Amino acid sequence: MRIGDKTNPIDYRPAEDRYDDMTYRRSGKSGILLPAISIGLWHNFGHIDRIENGRNILKKAFDLGITHFDLANNYGPPFGSAEENFGTIMKRDFLPYRDELFISSKAGYDMWPGPYGNFGSRKYLIASLDQSLQRMGLDYVDLFYHHRPDPDTPLEETMGALDQIVRQGKALYVGISNYPADETANAAAILKDLGTPCLIHQVKYSMFDREPEDKLLDTLEENGIGCITFSPLAQGMLTKKYVDGIPEDSRAGKNMTYLAKEQVEAKQPKIKALNDLAQKRGQELAQMALVWLLRDPRVTSVLIGASSPEQLAENVASLEQQAFSDEELQMIESILQ
């Protein structure tokens, strides 16, 4: 099928100046540059969502210079549906620009019934990536992650599977996610010996979750591995949404499993104080929270979600003001303590 013919019309044309304003940062000691802000498809891209909205978000992202689209086998809901919808969008809008995109997926969480649909065995990881590629309509992904450590499968088997995936041509690079510092070092050593170095580590990191600062970031730097952060806005707590209370239609208001009302209530004094500081900087709280992560050169990219193109553009605009004064950083530390 030819791109752009009547059976597969492609009428999207990205902005010609899409690379002019985005900041790109090197991932560890690799040859890969990633946008300072990347787009994740964890929410808003499943079968329960409007695919046209997802299309518009991704087109806006690429227009703004975001080249990295991040998925996982279980994103949805239901599981697999974010990759299916992305495959539809890819075919409809992005095929001519495949070589300008850096597409990642992951496997490690529960995906299908039985003993082979979870964690980190060679069988699960390779089968899962085969399924992901079929759903997305791709020959390969640029990056494939092991999504979480497996307490029972030997690390050598899991890392060996990642190495095999690269040698099969199904991924160009591999990474890990949610690994503690000691397992990260061990995984990096195994991959290095196999000849397939670990490109990047995806970890939860925000003003409200600073665990990576305890050993992990140092370990990544020592091993030449990049870092990409997820949940940089702490599931929305680091936005203006919760400054004056908990809206009924918010995640906390709906009492969703990953953001309890009590969590937000406990953090509200800090949210208000951080919001006041952001306003003084001429930024929204979310914008300040994103560039606060990027103040550390060990952080390659910050992974954000978006429910609309407008929200995405507002968050990317945070890059217009990345500098912090020493006084501002001290104020943030005092608020967070």
Please write the tens of the pLDDT for every residue from 298-310: 999 999 999 999 9
User: Which is it for the CA torsion 274, 283, 49, 99, positive or negative?
Assistant: negative
Query: How do strand 37-40 and strand 301-304 relate by DSSP bridges?
Result: parallel
Q: Determine, yes or no, domain membership for 114.
A: yes
Q: Determine, yes or no, domain membership for 141.
A: yes
Give the rounded percent of residues in the chain with a pLDDT score beyond 90: 89
pLDDT tens by residue, 183-230: 999 999 999 999 999 999 999 999 999 999 999 999 999 999 999 999
Q: Determine, yes or no, domain membership for 259.
A: no
Q: Determine, yes or no, domain membership for 146.
A: yes
Distances in Å between the Cα of 292 and the Cα atoms of 102, 241, 287, 332, 337 are 24, 19, 9, 9, 16
Output the domain CATH number for residue 94. Answer: 3.20.20.100
| Element housing 165 (H / E) | helix 155-167
Residue 68 has pLDDT above 70, yes or no: yes
Residue 8 has pLDDT above 60, yes or no: no
Determine the Cα–Cα distance for residues 236 and 16; give it in Å rounded to an integer.
Answer: 32
Tell me the two tokens of residue 78: 């239901």
Closest CA to 160 of 122, 118, 112: 122
Residue 3 has pLDDT above 50, yes or no: no
Alpha helices in 195-259 (DSSP H): 216-222
What are the strands, taking DSSP E only, across 274-330? 301-304
- Which of 52-56, 198-202, 244-248 has the lowest average pLDDT? 244-248
25 vs 251, residue with greater confidence: 25
Count Cβ atoms below 10 Å from residue 168 Cβ, excluding itself: 12
- Per-residue model confidence (pLDDT) at position 128: 98
Closest CA to 302 of 208, 224, 206: 206
What's the pTM? 0.94
Across the range 263-279, mean pLDDT stands at: 94
Q: Determine, yes or no, domain membership for 302.
A: yes
Residue 280 has pLDDT above 60, yes or no: yes
- Per-residue model confidence (pLDDT) at position 5: 44
Distances in Å between the Cα of 207 and the Cα atoms of 32, 239, 267 are 27, 12, 11
- Per-residue model confidence (pLDDT) at position 256: 61
Contact 287, 324 (CB under 8 A): no
* 212: β partners: none
- The number of domains in the chain is 1
Cis peptide before 77 (omega within 30 of 0): yes
Contact 239, 245 (CB under 8 A): no
DSSP reduced 3-state for 323: coil
CA dihedral 243, 249, 255, 258 (to 10 degrees): -70
Cβ-Cβ contacts under 8 Å for 21 (sequence gap 6 or more): 64, 65, 319
Q: How confident is the model at residue 244 (pLDDT cuts 50, 70, 90)?
A: confident
- Per-residue model confidence (pLDDT) at position 249: 66
Letter string b/e over residues 42-69, b meaning 16 or more CB atoms within 10 A of that residue's CB: bebbbeebebeebbbbbbbbbbbbbbbb
Query: How do strand 171-177 and strand 141-146 relate by DSSP bridges?
Result: parallel
Backbone region of residue 280 per phi and psi (left: phi > 0; alpha: psi in -120 to 50; beta: other values): alpha
- Phi and psi angles of residue 64, each rounded to the nearest 5 degrees, phi first: -90, 5
Give the rounded percent of residues in the chain with a pLDDT score beyond 70: 94
pLDDT tens by residue, 107-135: 999 999 999 999 999 999 999 999 999 99
- Per-residue model confidence (pLDDT) at position 262: 84
Gyration radius of the chain's alpha carbons: 20
Average pLDDT, the chain: 94
Closest CA to 72 of 155, 2, 145: 145
pLDDT tens by residue, 313-334: 999 999 999 999 999 999 999 9
- Per-residue model confidence (pLDDT) at position 293: 98
Across the range 43-71, mean pLDDT stands at: 98
Closest CA to 133 of 179, 174, 64, 86: 86
CA 293 to chain centre: 14
Q: Determine, yes or no, domain membership for 185.
A: yes
Q: Determine, yes or no, domain membership for 274.
A: no
- Per-residue model confidence (pLDDT) at position 1: 31
Distances in Å between the Cα of 98 and the Cα atoms of 16, 36, 69, 142, 242 are 16, 20, 11, 10, 38
Range of the domain at 235: 24-244+290-325
Cβ-Cβ contacts under 8 Å for 114 (sequence gap 6 or more): none
- Per-residue model confidence (pLDDT) at position 300: 98
Q: Determine, yes or no, domain membership for 28.
A: yes
| Element housing 84 (H / E) | helix 81-89
Q: How confident is the model at residue 254 (pLDDT cuts 50, 70, 90)?
A: low
